[in-house]
A and B are shown apart, each in its own frame.
Chain A
Amino acid sequence: MAGRNESAAGWIGSESQVSRLRGTVFKATCLGATLLALVLMLVFLLYVVNDALQPRTADVGWLATYGVTIGLPALALAGYYYRRDTRAGEVAYTSLGLPIAATVLAGGITILFRHLISPQEWFALVVACAVAIGIIELHGTVHSAGVIDRLAVVTVVPLLAVVGIPGISVDHTFNTLFLEQELFRIAFSTPELAPSLREVILSSPVLPTDPHALLLAFTVPVAGAGSLYVRRVRESDRDAALVGVGAVLAAGSGLVLAPLAGLSSTAWIVLATVVAVPVGLYVELVVRRGDGVSGLAFPVVVGLGALLGTVAVGAAGFAGPDTWLTWEFLNNPHSRTPRDAGIYPALVGSVLMLVVVAVAAFPVGVGAAIYLEEYAPNQGRLGTIVELIEINIANLAGVPSVVYGVLGLALFVRTVGMRTGIVLVGGLTIGLLILPIVIVSAQEAIRAVPDSLREASYGMGATKWQTTRNVVLPRAIPGIMTGTILAFGRAIGETAPLLMIGAAAVVRLPPESFMGKFSAMPRQIFTWSTEIEYEFRYGVLAAGVLTLLVVLLMMNASAIVVRNKYQRES
């Protein structure tokens, strides 16, 4: 008896010791892997930042001055938040990050207004859309019963407003099969049958100037959305009106004040609309909540510190660092002289390409995901086929990007006959590349909507379409948006497909339309990596990488913000 007891005790004891050791080793290994990954990434990032900004070329006094005016107060405040008021710490980093992110977004919007659609064209488009929506709404209230004429109004009115009835032009040569002998040729064209409302507005003799058009067609809708939001959360018409009018006034003051500040009126209006409105709303939210208000001091302290530092550095005559990432870098095209080289045309190219990617991949991807999750059969033989398709979509997400490049070249250039290296071809090719990612992430988001909600909806007599539209999609949209933005982040960094579709190494004029030749940021960075001169490969390239990384981080951060916000709400 005693012997058996002893052996049992010994067995348990030794096992517990061994398993403890194993567990410790395993934990240490995991920690090591994490640290290795993080340290490697950190070292790489520091390396790039150092190359791009070259902080060591600055005077010691310059670094010390900014250290005292920005670094110390910021550290002291951060310490205070960490020990006393963590909620304020959260407010502090949001209120510092929000204006920066909004400024980057404003830069992107300015690029669109400068190169893609002029403020006047935008004005015409917005007015035409507003009229179309108004007519549809009016029709809905006056005559809501007729299904057929409702459908006709919903399709025809927007079409007439935006596109019009274009002329018909046919120029086609009919060939015999295989032998390619010419049979006969049809060629005729008619003038435009009916101009769109948009074109009518554009051709009218009295058009608002660019800043006024922007104020009316861009600021007013954004301010309206802001005031609607305030009215919903505060349930006060007065506050809502205050926010709306305030935003319009802030932007409108640019017409007078912008020249004094050395800015163009359009830039002021875009900045005021995109930066001031969300920042104002956020500040209002924090103050109303009355929680962590002291966090709002953080951006003010940093801003004042920067101002003070600039004055002090100017007075003492300290030289700043010889950085590569400058305002000129963001505004210049590539040059043979490293100091004059910049990324602007590639930046514009990336933004326009992203517009094509978004327009091409988002509706198709989300549509496919909705069909696969909500409508596709999941039982029987058809169900097996659907499952096979889903597996293949997931596999497509892992196909190397260069393969998509070849596909884009073969499909859009060689088959459809578009020119090589234009924005449309690049955007469509990369749209194809991220399509599987968009589909899979949208499927996940739709699948995450609990079935009980659908069943409740059916139980109340709703149709499948009503359930999808009113129950499933509103719940799934945050998840879909998060996945899509992350996919766009992948899209903006892709290089190999651009090489395949012939995006040129150097393009010095930004594309003015989707049919223009373009270069994107990663393509331009690749060009710099093969330049002969040392400064291109270390300085200019690092500045380009940093620009691309900042854009990417902003996109990922906004994806995270969207996700967190909706997670908290639900």
Chain B
Amino acid sequence: MAQTPSNDRTFVSRRRFVQTSGVAGALAMAGCLSDDGESDDGGNGDDDGNGDDSGNGDDSGNGDNGGNGDDDGSETLSGEVVNTGSSTVFPVTDAMAERFMEEHPEVNVTVDSTGSGGGFENHFCPGDSDINGASRPIKDEEMSNCQDNGVEPIEMHIAGDALTMAVSPENDWVDCMTFDEMAQIWQEDGAETWADVNSDWPDEEFTLYGPDTTSGTFDWFTENVVGEAGNHRTDYEPTEDDNIIIRGIADDPYAIGYFGYAYYAENEDKVKALSVKESEDDACGEPSLQAASEGTYPMARPLFIYPSEDALQREEVYEFLKFYLENSSADWIADDVGYVPSNQDMVDENMSALEDAR
């Protein structure tokens, strides 16, 4: 009779024993492997300053990758890399994960789409995830929240996006909007009808579709276009799923909404993208990846990933990040995912940030 409880207790302790010894083993392994990793670093050196504007034409960046990828082909890497964060960054990270796992089939790279803020708040800062994607820079309160938990985020600007303002294809009265007009539509207590903004436009009420308040897209738009963080009307249809915005706009001639360029690229036949200009005197900029990378599209915005410093001491996280950064200048980022790839300067800067943190 007295034996049962004592055995229960030891069973739990045994599991803990396995866990602790497992962790110790993994740490020892990481310690051994990290030496190898540092000896590889010489291979990362950049060859030419590819500082020209065309992010898409960075062929030399790809050449680098092939060389670096071969370095660690012989050792079998295993472990887990946990990615969370922005739904905008999700397609890039997911594509990186798929390609990385083709080279390292033993490493389990999981990717989750939680929204930039949701990822920091619920997963990254509590220490549950290794890398958090964000479609805006980290906020001060998030930074201090992370640091309070002993998590040190490292900022890496890995791609760009052209935020796209779109209307129904039946809308024939507007092709180009200024930031001021957009602010009038989207700010709190904004305009009710199209005619309120411009008397040439029809006297019909807006139907508004936009991203959720937890989304980095929302934060970036209010801060940079409306001009004040968080100043956004609430009587719109908020959603985490940009497909819903597309469907809403396509069905209603008086609808307007905004989302990342990738969704526009997939639905060019369903919605009409507006050109935008910062003020009345500027030239209208049509949304395109080319324009975003050249800086002629005013609503181009940066995309980030934030690895935690502790996590990238682990070999698999370090290798995944190295792979990520090397490939962030590749052409397929634009062709397959629909974002602006990094230029060589960004790659070099991220690489040195990565090496500094090791």
Residues of A whose CB lies within 8 Å of any CB of B are: 151-152, 155-156, 159, 163, 165-171, 189, 335-336, 413, 419-421, 502, 504-509, 516-517, 519, 527, 529-530, 532-534, 537
Contacts and interface: CB of A to CB of B under 8 A. Distances in A.
A370 to B, nearest CB: 20
A419 B22 CA distance: 15
A169 B14 contact: yes
Given A508-B97, A517-B80, A168 B4 contact: no
Contacts of A532: 91, 242-243, 262-263, 266, 338
Contacts of A152: 3
A159 B3 CA distance: 11
A504 B90 CA distance: 12
5 contacts: A169-B17, A504-B84, A508-B101, A527-B113, A530-B87
B266 A533 contact: yes
B301 interface: no
Given A155-B3, A169-B13, A530 B110 contact: no
B241 A504 contact: no
Contacts of A165: 7, 10
A506 B91 CA distance: 11
Question: Looking at A156, A170, A504, A533, which has the most chain B CB atoms within 10 Å of its CB?
Answer: A504
Contacts of A421: 82, 110, 112
B212 to A, nearest CB: 12
B20 interface: yes
Nearest to B265: A532
Given A419-B128, A532-B262, A335 B98 contact: yes
B305 interface: no
B220 to A, nearest CB: 19
B358 interface: no
A169 B20 contact: yes
Nearest to B93: A506
Contacts, number: 98
Nearest to A532: B266
B108 interface: yes
B245 to A, nearest CB: 12
Interface string B9-20: 011011011001
Contact of B243 (A155, A516, A537): A537
B192 interface: no
Contacts of A156: 3
B112 A167 contact: no
A136 to B, nearest CB: 16
Contact of B16 (A169, A505, A508): A169
A241 B111 CA distance: 54
A507 B20 contact: no
B97 A506 contact: yes
A502 B123 contact: yes
B95 interface: yes
Interface of A is mostly: loop
Q: Which 6 A-B pairs have the closest CB atoms?
A: A166-B14, A169-B17, A504-B110, A504-B112, A509-B108, A506-B111
Contacts of A505: 90, 94, 111-113
A504 B7 CA distance: 35
Contacts of B208: none
Contacts of B109: 508
Given A421-B110, A529-B241, A530-B243, A506 B94 contact: yes
B128 A167 contact: no
Contact of B110 (A166, A335, A413, A507): A507
Contacts of A419: 128
A171 B111 CA distance: 33
Contacts of A506: 94, 97, 110-112
Interface residues of B, number: 43
A509 B83 CA distance: 14
Contacts of B111: 504-506
Interface in B180-217: none
B191 to A, nearest CB: 30
Interface of B: 1, 3-4, 7, 10-11, 13-14, 16-17, 20, 80, 82-84, 87, 90-91, 94-95, 97-98, 101, 105, 108-113, 122-123, 128, 240-243, 262-263, 266, 336-338
A167 B242 CA distance: 54
Contacts of A413: 128
Contact of A504 (B1, B16, B82): B82
Question: Looking at A169, A171, A335, A534, which has the most chain B CB atoms within 10 Å of its CB?
Answer: A169
Contact of B14 (A167, A336, A517, A529): A167
Contacts of B90: 505
A151 B82 CA distance: 47
B1 A151 contact: yes
B98 A508 contact: yes
A202 to B, nearest CB: 16
A526 B110 CA distance: 15
Nearest to A159: B7
A530 B113 contact: yes
B124 to A, nearest CB: 11
Contacts of B10: 165-166, 168
Nearest to A340: B98
Question: Looking at A163, A502, A532, which has the most chain B CB atoms within 10 Å of its CB?
Answer: A532
A167 B10 CA distance: 7
Nearest to B264: A532
Contacts of B263: 532
A507 B112 CA distance: 9
A167 B113 contact: no
Nearest to B80: A517
Nearest to B100: A508
A505 B97 CA distance: 12
A168 B11 contact: no
Given A505-B113, A530-B243, A166 B91 contact: no
B4 A171 contact: no
Given A420-B123, A508-B108, A166 B113 contact: no
A233 B338 CA distance: 67
B252 to A, nearest CB: 20
Contacts of A517: 80, 82, 108, 110
Contact of B13 (A151, A170, A507, A508): A170
A156 B7 CA distance: 10
Contacts of B11: 163, 166
A502 B17 contact: no
A337 B13 CA distance: 45
A336 B91 contact: yes
A156 B1 CA distance: 10
B112 A171 contact: no
A426 to B, nearest CB: 13
Contacts of A166: 10-11, 13-14, 17
A133 to B, nearest CB: 19
Given A336-B336, A506-B111, 17 more contacts: A151-B1, A166-B17, A169-B17, A171-B16, A336-B94, A336-B95, A419-B128, A420-B123, A421-B112, A502-B112, A502-B123, A504-B111, A505-B113, A506-B112, A508-B109, A517-B80, A519-B110
B342 to A, nearest CB: 19
A415 B337 CA distance: 39
Contacts of A509: 101, 105, 108
A193 to B, nearest CB: 9
A242 B98 CA distance: 52
Contacts of A420: 123, 128
Nearest to B4: A155
Nearest to A345: B108
Contacts of B122: 502
Nearest to A534: B266
Contacts of B14: 166-167, 169
A159 B262 CA distance: 58
A517 B108 CA distance: 9
A246 B199 CA distance: 88
Contacts of A527: 113
Contacts of B95: 336
B20 A171 contact: yes
B150 to A, nearest CB: 15
Nearest to A519: B110
